[in-house]
Amino acid sequence: MELPKADVWAWDIETAIDGSIVDYPTMLSASSADHNLVAVGENNIRSLARALKDSGAALVTWNGWAFDEPVMKNWGIEMPMSHDGMVMAYMDDETQALGLESCAVKYLGVKGWKHGDWKTFDPTSEEAAMYAARDAQYTLQLYHELSRRLGRRMATIESIIAPARRALDKQTAIGIYISRCAVDRERRNAENVRDMSLARTQGFTGPDFNPNSTKQVGEFLLARGILLPTTETGKPSTGVGVLQSIDDEFCKSLLEYRGAVKTLSTYVTPYESLASLGDGRVHPEYTLIRTLTGRSSAKNLNVQNLPRAYKDFFGAPLGKLFVECDYSAIEFRIAAWFAQESTILGEYANDPGWDPHLFVASLFYRKTTQEVTKAERQIAKSANFGLLYLGNGFTLYEYANKQGVKMDMETANEIYHFWHETFPGFKKFYAETRYELVSTGQVEGPTGQIRHFGDFSLVPKHKRLECLRQAVNFKVQNLSAHIAYIAMAEMNERMLPMVGFVHDAVLFEFRSEQAFEWHRSNINYAMMVHPRCFLRYHFDIDLNIPLTIEYKVTHGPPA
């Protein structure tokens, strides 16, 4: 089959029949400026798909990266990577619903059309063909409209987002090997904590007490004379935050019990199941268009929210090497770059591995770096990270204590003032961001991505500081994420064996230690040098602060 000549073809597949979703295409539609085509039946769909693949035209889909392209690949046809209209709509307005219908209504001014019952769907009917053709035609029209609206931001998608998507798709296919030993260890630990804390809890209440019943917990605490806040429905609140605020041994035991149960259900059991099935790997599905800051997210399983205590769930199979390569303090560095904070820039220029926590502790406690204690450095670390996003003395106090760092309010307030006196550039950065936010209702990252807030004058006064905090957070996290995406794309081009991605860390699996050492220089270049060169060449960004990485190497069991 040969298609009529066109610069752009939009395509869309349907995978439903008689109201059921199936794992293969039942219909393929394609639209150009002058033609609408619909293929029904396997032979016709394959013929049209191959014609699209060989057409030489730019291809456009809606949610094709996550759905249409993988479905076709599983069906044996690997389509060229299309422009994804859903990604374009996200780049235009990250706050909006991203469905084809809602975006067509918004951008094209058409009426909504999805009012029918999918149980009556017949892929061989003329009505179904019209439905499919309309999807492809609207996808094409939205591509042209969004291209016009995005302008130079199309370069952000094409040079940063799309290459990262390709790299992540390969990582999903390979998967991260799960260390069964580490998962088994955490099951034993969590079960021991669960059983011991349950016994202590029921020692207060009796054996018939159900620690999972909020009603029983509330009644027991009230009977002990402990006042509880109420929920919106007027019932006693027994959430984690409430229990943590109560100095009571029963509450401590109950919190331990709940924590152990959550560990088992949320982390141990899902990873344990995957470790015992198939290839013993987790194959997370990554997305780049679901967060307000542009950071990636993951599902099935969400490897990016695995607590640090369980990071060794990821490992290497027999005879291989698992390597985690993590950007060092990237958000602190990027925030300092935005602020052009001269002290930090100067220290990093002299020593890319400079320790800002030791530096702050040394100045605050008036000691040499050799005299600073581990606890004092930890307090300074809390200040560097707790104050970065417009924290004050109280938020520093809360942040430090949540991290297990004991700090009183007086010390927290002293460090707050000292920190801003030491690094005055941050307040200037915050003021510039606030001006952009107030005057435009949005903030833009240096690579072109935008976070929308709307008319700032309509934001209640008590929420304006939080809006500013989110605006600053967006700028820093977005550029940090894009640096990691640029590095991943480069390593994908160099065919380095990436198996996973956790925000600022790239995960590798090497066949041997020799193979890792052979490729270490490529990793160093791709993560530390290439992003700065790329940003300068493509976006005229002078990232005048060095990037550094840290390696963590885990050996698999001997083969």
Q: Are residues 158 and 224 in the same domain?
A: no
pLDDT digits (tens, 9 = 90+) for 142-158: 999 999 999 999 999 99
Which structure tokens are listed for 62? 């809606």
Q: Give residue 320's pLDDT.
A: 96
Q: Are residues 308 and 251 in the same domain?
A: no
The phi, psi pair for 55, rounded to 5°, reads -70, -25
Query: Is the pTM higher than 0.85?
Result: yes
Domain extent, residue 186, equals 179-279
Is 141 within a domain?
yes
The C-alpha atoms of residue 510 and residue 487 are separated, in whole angstroms, by: 18
Residue 515's SS3 state is: helix
Q: Are residues 301 and 259 in the same domain?
A: no
Is 22 within a domain?
yes
pLDDT tops 80 at residue 119: no
Q: Are residues 165 and 294 in the same domain?
A: yes
Q: What is the mean pLDDT of the chain?
A: 93
pLDDT tops 60 at residue 118: no
Q: What is the CATH number of the domain that holds 266?
A: 1.20.1060.10
**DSSP-assigned states of every residue in 302-319:** -GGG--GGGGGGB---TT
Q: What is the CATH number of the domain that holds 554?
A: 3.30.70.370
Query: Do residues 160 and 103 touch, judged by C-beta distance below 8 A?
Result: no
Q: Are residues 127 and 189 in the same domain?
A: no
Which structure tokens are listed for 220? 């027991």
Is 409 within a domain?
no
* pLDDT band for position 123 (cuts 50, 70, 90): low
* pLDDT band for position 257 (cuts 50, 70, 90): very high
Read off the DSSP letter of residue 152: T
The C-alpha atoms of residue 375 and residue 379 are separated, in whole angstroms, by: 6
pLDDT digits (tens, 9 = 90+) for 350-405: 999 999 999 999 999 999 999 999 988 988 998 998 899 998 888 888 888 777 78
**Helix pair angle (180-205, 249-262), 10° resolution:** 150
pLDDT > 70 in the chain, percent = 98
The C-alpha atoms of residue 139 and residue 133 are separated, in whole angstroms, by: 10
Which structure tokens are listed for 343? 């002290």
pLDDT digits (tens, 9 = 90+) for 443-497: 999 999 999 999 999 999 999 999 999 999 999 999 999 999 999 999 999 999 9
**Unique residue bearing structure tokens 């991260």:** 176
Q: Are residues 170 and 56 in the same domain?
A: no
Q: Are residues 243 and 324 in the same domain?
A: no
Last residue in a domain, options 279, 294, 323: 279
In 1-47, DSSP assigns E strands to 8-14, 16-17, 20-21, 27-31, 36-40
- Domain count along the chain: 3
Go through 301-325 and write b for each residue having 16 or more CB atoms within 10 A of its CB, e for each that does not.
bebbebeeebbbbbbbbeebbbbbb
In 174-318, DSSP assigns E strands to 176-177, 281-282, 285-287, 297-299
Nearest to 228 by CA among 208, 211, 251, 256: 251
Residue 207's SS3 state is: coil
Q: Give residue 116's pLDDT.
A: 62
Q: Are residues 82 and 198 in the same domain?
A: no
* Mean pLDDT, residues 527-549: 97
**DSSP-assigned states of every residue in 435-466:** HHHHHHSEEE-TTS-EEE---GGGS-HHHHHH
The phi, psi pair for 326, rounded to 5°, reads -115, 135
Is 459 within a domain?
no
**Unique residue bearing structure tokens 């820093």:** 476
Q: Are residues 116 and 50 in the same domain?
A: yes
pLDDT > 90 in the chain, percent = 80
Q: What is the CATH number of the domain that holds 119?
A: 3.30.420.10
Is 423 within a domain?
no
113-121's contacts with Cβ under 8 Å and 24+ in sequence apart are: 117/19, 118/16, 118/19, 119/18, 119/19, 120/19, 121/16, 121/17, 121/18, 121/19
Question: Regarding predicted confidence, which is higher, 432 or 228?
Answer: 432
The C-alpha atoms of residue 110 and residue 138 are separated, in whole angstroms, by: 9
Q: Give residue 263's pLDDT.
A: 96
Q: Give residue 128's pLDDT.
A: 79
Is 56 within a domain?
yes
Query: Do residues 334 and 445 touch, judged by C-beta distance below 8 A?
Result: no
The C-alpha atoms of residue 271 and residue 265 are separated, in whole angstroms, by: 10
pLDDT digits (tens, 9 = 90+) for 6-50: 999 999 998 877 667 778 898 999 999 999 999 998 999 999 999
Nearest to 347 by CA among 335, 334, 356: 356
* Mean pLDDT, residues 315-335: 96
Q: Give residue 438's pLDDT.
A: 96
Q: Give residue 115's pLDDT.
A: 66
